[in-house]
């Protein structure tokens, strides 16, 4: 049992690289304009409430433009069976420089780095999919090595990693240890978050319902964090901070669920790990920020009453 509870926040920072295989950028302009505008506001809230957080960032965001990216492409590229999943196929077939700002964000990387308590982690270089057909350990290592090298240009040492689409692959842990990654986020220990299984409607229903009603225990203690010979810490996710719903009652249920879970973690001296994508705020940025402020105000109350502490992934101990 830990001396007191801890509140971990991790964000999957992707911009369009997170959905390039699912959407057309021309139809997402307002959404990503809002995302770019809201990130500094999230950082301000984190500063105001003394919040630490890990920004697991796609490595392509570190580049200035496509030309810069192309001079740093790894020698080995993903060889997915479905080539449309490859970010390299995307830049060669669909990328449009008119939408450059939704693909490259070195200034935001620097702003995050300069904000107190914020860790920049890896979401792989190319939003690498670790469980799809055709992926392999050598291509994954080439991707990670290049992200580490690119991050060093910013004076950043990557210590934490979040697998894109939560495709946790335990076979890759040895590579991550070899490359100096110390912490990874893994999925909640419940069947409907098992990403090795093919997602179906049944799984989606349970995963969505769990945001509003209690379906599993999602708290943990640091002593229960899983280890690989004490070389890598596997930090379970507790809750995905889902985007706003059009229905007020669902938003209220969702927010109350998060705050109640935080309270239990503080009282029981356990860890609560909240995560989301910055672009999840793109649809309703003002209301989303208000909700985040409410969560952080609740954290502050728990911090004062129970010594509930904010931590990023690399500062978990």
Q: What is the CATH number of the domain that holds 99?
A: 3.20.20.370
Tally of structural domains, the chain: 1
> What residues contact residue 141 under an 8 Å CB cut-off, 6+ apart?
175, 178, 179
Q: Residue 143: give the domain boundaries.
A: 6-315
Residue 227 within a domain? yes
Predicted confidence band of residue 202 (pLDDT cuts 50, 70, 90): very low
| pLDDT tens, position by position, 167-188 | 999 999 999 999 999 999 998 7
Residue 1 within a domain? no
Residue 13 within a domain? yes
Q: For the ranges 9-23, 107-121, 243-257, which has the lowest average pLDDT?
A: 243-257
Residue 232 within a domain? yes
| pLDDT tens, position by position, 135-165 | 999 999 999 999 999 999 999 999 999 999 9
| pLDDT tens, position by position, 215-274 | 556 788 876 566 556 689 999 999 999 999 999 999 999 999 999 999 999 999 999 999
- Interatomic CA distance for residues 139 and 162, integer angstroms: 17
Question: What pTM did the predictor assign?
Answer: 0.92
Give percent above pLDDT 70 in the chain: 87
Predicted confidence band of residue 1 (pLDDT cuts 50, 70, 90): very low
């Amino acid at each position: 049992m830990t001396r007191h509870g801890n509140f971990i926040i991790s964000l999957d920072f992707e911009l369009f690289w997170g959905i390039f295989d699912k959407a057309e950028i021309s139809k997402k302009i307002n959404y990503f304009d809002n995302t770019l505008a809201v990130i500094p506001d999230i950082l301000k809230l984190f500063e105001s409430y003394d919040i630490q957080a890990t920004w697991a960032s796609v490595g392509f965001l570190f580049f200035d433009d496509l030309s810069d990216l192309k001079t740093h492409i790894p020698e080995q590229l993903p060889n997915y069976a479905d080539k449309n999943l490859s970010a390299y196929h995307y830049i060669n077939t669909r990328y449009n420089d008119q939408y450059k700002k939704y693909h490259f964000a070195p200034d935001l990387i620097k702003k995050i780095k300069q904000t107190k308590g914020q860790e920049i982690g890896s979401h792989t270089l190319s939003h690498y999919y670790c469980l799809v057909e055709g992926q392999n350990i050598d291509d994954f290592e080439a991707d990670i090595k290049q992200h580490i090298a690119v991050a060093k240009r910013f004076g950043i040492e990557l210590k934490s990693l979040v697998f894109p689409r939560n495709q946790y692959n335990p076979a890759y842990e040895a590579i991550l240890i070899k490359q100096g990654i110390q912490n990874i986020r893994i999925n909640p220990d419940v069947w409907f978050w098992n990403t090795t299984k093919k997602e179906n409607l049944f799984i989606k229903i349970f995963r969505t319902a769990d945001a509003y009603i209690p379906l599993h225990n999602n708290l943990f203690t640091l002593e229960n964090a899983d280890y690989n010979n004490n070389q890598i810490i596997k930090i379970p996710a507790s809750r995905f901070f889902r985007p706003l719903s059009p229905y007020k009652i669902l938003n209220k249920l969702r927010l109350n669920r998060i705050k109640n879970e935080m309270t239990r973690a503080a009282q029981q001296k356990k860890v609560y790990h909240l995560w989301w994508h910055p672009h999840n705020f793109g649809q309703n940025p003002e209301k989303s920020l208000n909700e985040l402020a409410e969560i952080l105000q609740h954290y502050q109350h728990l911090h004062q009453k129970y010594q509930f502490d904010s931590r990023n992934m690399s500062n978990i101990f």
